[in-house]
């Protein structure tokens, strides 16, 4: 039976030490039975969740263990959604990390957990248990909704073999985090967990109390770093460690402003990261295409579970380098006409990837330079052009994507209207069969604008195969193409026209 250890009294009573010892003894006894019953697996994963941590502040802090993981593995910045998809708060953040899907699927939009749908989109430890019941799973946290059964969660379900829940608060995480680390270290060192999640909360408390720009915030990172080191040492001191294959991941649920706080749409609040070490991950590597949903995918892959399209993430040790838009990153430029984007951010270009083209023959003249026709941009750049207009919701695009934005283009005087077409290379096909066109689409609709997908074979007249007439936000598209008999190649066009309307972003265009 799964074991849930609740230590809510530990945070405030004088008998905290004794209660924790009892919890550890209970945990150890339960673990012994599980270890005896299941043969030790060699592929193991530990996910460490650090609440409200800003990556740039980790780099500035006294954090040798986190910096060591970065030097030995992967470091990847990533950005979150914003409202109305979800607030940049812990409920949506940890739900996204645990389930591997975005809030439009798992349903958690804020810390009320209203609309949660963990039944359809369970946490990665539960998915592991469902796929391989012999796996030993473990979760420990001092933010109760993660592991406790009597709160808005639990995010990690009762199917997890063992869950330790302590109660931290704005002043109490500093006391509770060491207890979580001690209990988890004992589990990792002395028992047989195949997949584990350990949460530490005190950095977020420091952010709220003092701001992420403060020395107190750096000090909190230093204290948590020592606890991370305790967990890493426990793994390395396992008697069977030399025969095991471990992946270690560290991540966070949201960022913090300099003054302290989160929940909004600034890049500081939306900032997250993934640090990963293990087989298949080059030491010292830095990536721009990793997303928070990839944590669950990586953990599941490590223990031999493939959820397929049921989750939005992909394992970080199996990157997909076939998106041509990402190849234009060296061409990215800083702002020209935009004023809301920091001057040092290089994030747009009008130079298409090799073999691609942008047809601006019907495009008006003038307007904001960055968005004069289809452009290629990053989330960091595009979403800051104008916040809170749903650009932040483009969560399924990765790294560089194509964007047509008549709303931003119109912010400077121009003649004519926005009318631009993105054109793919000619791809070979076999006549008489079918092909599937897939792409990520983020479209916000308004009357008066047009968004169409057109297809032409062997240089013939383009025919419309898809027209957008309503919002299609952060959507994975798959269009079946009927290839005419005798056709030898196909070319796809994405045409967007408007006049101070909204936008269309497209990414990862493939013909399968």
Q: What average pLDDT does range 321-342 have in this prediction?
A: 94
Question: Is residue 241 reached through a cis peptide bond, with omega within 30 degrees of 0 on the bond before it?
Answer: no
Bridge pairing between strands 195-200 and 137-141: parallel
Contacts of residue 167, defined as CB under 8 A and 6 or more positions apart, other chains included, come to 7, 8, 9, 10, 11, 142, 144, 176
Flag whether pLDDT at 239 surpasses 90: yes
Given a cut of 70, is residue 169 above it in pLDDT?
A: no
d(CA 199, CA 495): 46
Alpha helices in 191-214 (DSSP H): 202-210
Predicted confidence at residue 37, as pLDDT, reads: 32
Which residue matches tokens 């550890």? 24
Average pLDDT of the residues of the chain: 91
In angstroms, the CA 476 to CA 67 distance is 35
Q: By the 8 A CB rule, do 399 and 479 touch?
A: no
Report residue 149's pLDDT band, with 50, 70 and 90 as the boundaries.
Answer: confident
Residue 470 makes CB contacts below 8 A (sequence gap 6+) with 445
Query: Mean pLDDT throughout 410-424?
Result: 97
pLDDT of 272 above 50: yes
Q: Residue 442: which of 79, 78, 81, 77 has the closest Cα?
A: 81
What pLDDT does residue 319 have? 66
As beta bridge partners, residue 7 has 166
**Would you place residue 153 in the very low, low, confident or very high pLDDT band (cuts 50, 70, 90)?**
confident
pLDDT digits (tens, 9 = 90+) for 59-71: 999 999 999 999 9
Task: Using pLDDT thresholds of 50, 70 and 90, give the confidence band for residue 11.
Answer: very low
Whether residue 320 has pLDDT greater than 80: no
At residue 24 the predicted structure's pLDDT band, cuts being 50, 70 and 90, is very low
pLDDT of residue 284: 97
Which residues lie below 8 Å from residue 250, measured CB to CB, with a gap of 6+?
Answer: 47, 48, 49, 50, 66, 69, 228, 274, 275, 276
Mean pLDDT of 218-245: 97
pLDDT at 33: 35
Contact 199, 141 (CB under 8 A): yes
Q: What is the mean pLDDT of residues 115-134?
A: 97
| pLDDT at residue 19 greater than cutoff 80 | no
Q: Where in 301-449 does DSSP place strands (E)? A: 348-349, 357-359, 365-366, 375-378, 400-405, 414-415, 418-423, 427-428, 434-444
- Residue-wise pLDDT for 474-485, tens only, equals 999 999 999 999
pLDDT in tens, 381-406: 999 999 999 999 999 999 999 999 99
Tokens of 105: 């699927």
- CA 246 to each of CA 109, 193, 209, 240: distance values in angstroms, whole numbers, following the listed order: 33, 11, 36, 11
Do the beta carbons of residue 341 and residue 378 sit within 8 Å?
no
> Is the predicted pLDDT of residue 202 greater than 90, yes or no?
yes
**What are the pLDDT digits (tens) for 283-319?**
999 999 999 999 999 999 999 999 999 999 999 987 6
**So what's the pLDDT on residue 22?**
35
Task: Say what the pLDDT of residue 395 is.
Answer: 98
Complete domains list, the chain, with CATH: 3-11+44-310 (3.40.720.10), 324-511 (2.60.120.260)
Given a cut of 60, whether residue 26 has pLDDT beyond it is: no
Question: What is this structure's pTM?
Answer: 0.91
Give the distance between the most distant pair of CA atoms in the chain: 82
Looking at per-residue pLDDT, the higher value among 327 and 10 belongs to 327
- The two tokens of residue 8 are 């809510």
- Residues 73-122 have pLDDT tens digits of 999 999 999 999 999 999 999 999 999 999 999 999 999 999 999 999 99
Predicted local distance difference test score (pLDDT) of residue 168: 77
Residue 7 has pLDDT above 60, yes or no: no
CA neighbor of 228 nearest in space, from 57, 5, 31, 47 = 47
pLDDT exceeding 90 applies to what percent of the chain? 88
User: What is the C-alpha R_g of the chain?
Assistant: 24
């Amino acid at each position: 039976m799964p074991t849930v250890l609740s230590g809510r009294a530990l945070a405030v009573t004088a008998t905290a030490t004794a209660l924790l010892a009892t919890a550890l003894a209970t945990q150890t006894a339960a673990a012994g039975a599980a270890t005896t019953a299941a043969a030790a697996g060699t592929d193991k994963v530990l996910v460490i969740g650090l609440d409200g941590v800003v990556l740039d502040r980790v780099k500035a802090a006294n954090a040798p263990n986190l910096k060591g993981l970065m030097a030995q593995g992967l470091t990847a910045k990533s950005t979150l959604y914003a409202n109305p998809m979800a607030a940049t708060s812990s409920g949506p953040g940890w739900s996204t990390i645990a389930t591997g899907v975005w809030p439009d699927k798992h349903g958690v939009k804020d810390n009320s957990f209203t609309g949660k749908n963990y039944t359809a989109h369970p946490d990665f430890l539960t998915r592991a248990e469902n796929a391989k019941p012999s796996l030993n799973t473990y979760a420990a946290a001092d933010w109760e909704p993660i592991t406790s059964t009597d709160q808005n969660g639990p995010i990690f379900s009762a199917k997890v073999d063992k869950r330790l829940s302590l109660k931290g608060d704005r002043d109490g995480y500093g006391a509770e985090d060491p207890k979580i680390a001690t209990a988890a270290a004992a589990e990792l060192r002395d028992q047989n967990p195949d997949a584990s999640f350990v949460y530490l909360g005190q950095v977020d408390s420091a952010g709220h109390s003092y701001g992420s720009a403060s020395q107190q915030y750096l000090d909190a990172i230093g204290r948590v770093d020592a606890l991370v080191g305790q967990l890493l040492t426990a793994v390395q001191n396992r008697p069977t460690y030399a025969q095991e294959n471990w992946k270690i991941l560290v991540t966070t649920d949201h960022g913090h402003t300099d003054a302290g706080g989160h929940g909004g749409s600034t890049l500081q609040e939306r900032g997250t990261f993934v640090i990963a070490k293990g087989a298949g991950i080059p030491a010292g590597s830095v990536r721009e295409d990793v997303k928070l949903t990839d944590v669950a995918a990586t953990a599941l892959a490590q223990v031999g579970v493939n959820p397929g399209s049921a989750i939005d993430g992909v394992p970080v040790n199996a990157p997909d380098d076939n998106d041509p838009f990402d190849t234009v990153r060296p061409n990215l430029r800083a702002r020209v006409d935009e004023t809301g984007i920091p001057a040092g951010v290089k994030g747009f270009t009008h130079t298409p990837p090799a073999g691609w083209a942008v047809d601006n023959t019907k495009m008006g003249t003038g307007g904001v330079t960055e968005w004069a026709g289809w452009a290629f941009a990053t989330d960091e750049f595009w979403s800051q052009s104008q916040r809170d207009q749903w650009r932040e919701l483009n969560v399924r695009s990765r790294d560089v994507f194509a964007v047509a934005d008549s709303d931003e283009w119109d912010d400077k005087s121009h003649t004519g209207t926005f009318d631009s077409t993105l054109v793919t290379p000619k791809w070979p096909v076999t006549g008489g069969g079918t092909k599937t066109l897939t792409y990520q689409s983020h479209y916000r609709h308004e009357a008066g604008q047009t968004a169409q997908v057109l297809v032409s074979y062997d240089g013939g007249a383009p025919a419309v195969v898809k027209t957008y007439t309503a919002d299609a936000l952060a959507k994975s598209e798959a269009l079946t193409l009927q290839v005419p008999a005798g056709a030898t190649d196909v070319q796809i066009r994405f045409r967007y026209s408007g006049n101070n309307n909204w936008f269309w972003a497209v990414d990862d265009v493939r013909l399968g």
